[in-house]
Amino acid sequence: MVKFLCDSSPSAVFGGFDDSREAARRLAEASQDTVLLKRIDRLPVSVQERILVLLDDPCRSFPLLISTASSSIEMMAAEGHFLPELLYRISVYRISMPPLRERWRDIPDLFRIMLDEISPTATTVPMPDQKAMKVLMEYSWPGNLRELQNVVRGYLLAPDSIALGTEIERRRCTVPEKDAGRHPSALKEQVKHVAKRVEGQMILEALERNCWNRRRTAEALSISYRSLMYKMKNCNIRSENTGGRRVAS
């Protein structure tokens, strides 16, 4: 039997709670069951402390402990909002579920699956056309799968590709998207992009200080002449004599 802790759904064995003693009591009652700590990142530190005490109690054992989080608990622990001891206690095996905006290639298949699940058995609803599907794949989906499911429900009521595209554009204008661009990049890619711009700007300023003498610039930056030429090309910085100096954005 799976018992839920920190779950706000009415079907859960354990409902939402604010009192840390109640949380500890309910967890203690589940000592013979598989326990799901749902949205553990939303627990106050006082509740985390009591849960940690129970999990470390040698007189208690849990056949299986599963926890879910929508935020980085490592970052929360670094900021003092999550107990590092509890983080280590629950970090045995992790399954990462990337947000929908990072799985945009799956959107057509997910749309079809949801359409088949939601629509009546006897009803055949055509898929959106390519133009509308392109709009769906370019949207950042801040509400993830639940938002896509709602969009599918709306499309089922009025299976019109033009109206579907208009609805997504409306959402794009009214709901702040988490990332910009056709397919939002991961944090690592964004950091790399910013670093490239900063590096290019520093090289450009060094070139100007050294009257565009590339060898003196390389010495000033403590890099080889060959490295400077590579970085200039990578940042799209052209020689002064060719005109039009610029740094790639």
Instruction: Dump pLDDT digits (tens) for 59-118.
Output: 766 667 888 888 888 888 888 889 988 888 888 888 888 888 888 899 999 999 998 888
Neighbours of 40 (CB within 10 A): 24
Instruction: Determine the average pLDDT of the residues in 43-49.
Output: 86
Closest-CA residue to 1 (of 30, 37, 33): 33
CA–CA dist 241, 85 (Å, integer): 61
pTM over 0.85: no
Name the H helices within 101-212. Answer: 107-118, 130-138, 144-157, 161-174, 187-209
In whole angstroms, what is the distance from residue 16 CA to residue 109 CA? 34
At residue 148, the pLDDT reads: 94
For the chain, percent of residues with pLDDT exceeding 90: 18
What is the SS3 assignment for 26? helix
| Predicted pLDDT at 180 | 43
DSSP 142: T
Residue 66, SS3 per DSSP: strand
pLDDT value for 239? 61
In this predicted model, what pLDDT tens digit does every residue of 118-148 receive, in sequence order?
A: 877 656 788 999 999 999 999 989 888 899 9
State residue 11's pLDDT score.
32
Q: What is the DSSP letter of 128?
A: P
Q: What integer pLDDT is reported at residue 247 of this predicted model?
A: 41
With bands split at pLDDT 50, 70 and 90, how would you rate the model's confidence at 149? very high
How high is the pLDDT of residue 36? 80
Tell me the CA distances in angstroms from 19 to 26, 35, 66, 117, one per residue in order. Answer: 11, 19, 21, 39
CA proximity to 115, closest of 178, 164, 64? 164
Which of 50-64, 130-144, 178-192 shows the lowest per-residue confidence on average (mean pLDDT)?
178-192
The token duo for 126 is 């055509």
- Determine contact, residues 100/144, Cβ cutoff 8 Å: yes
Could you give the C-alpha distances from 40 to 46, 146, 229, in angstroms and in order? 13, 20, 50
Does the pLDDT at position 1 exceed 50? Answer: no
Tell me the average pLDDT across 223-229.
88
What digits encode the pLDDT tens for the residues 13-31?
A: 333 444 445 555 666 665 5
pLDDT reported for residue 131 = 92
Q: What's the burial of 187, exposed, middle or buried (CB within 10 Å: 0-12/13-18/19+)?
A: exposed
**Cα–Cα dist 136/127, whole Å:** 12
Q: Percentage of residues in the chain with pLDDT exceeding 70?
A: 72
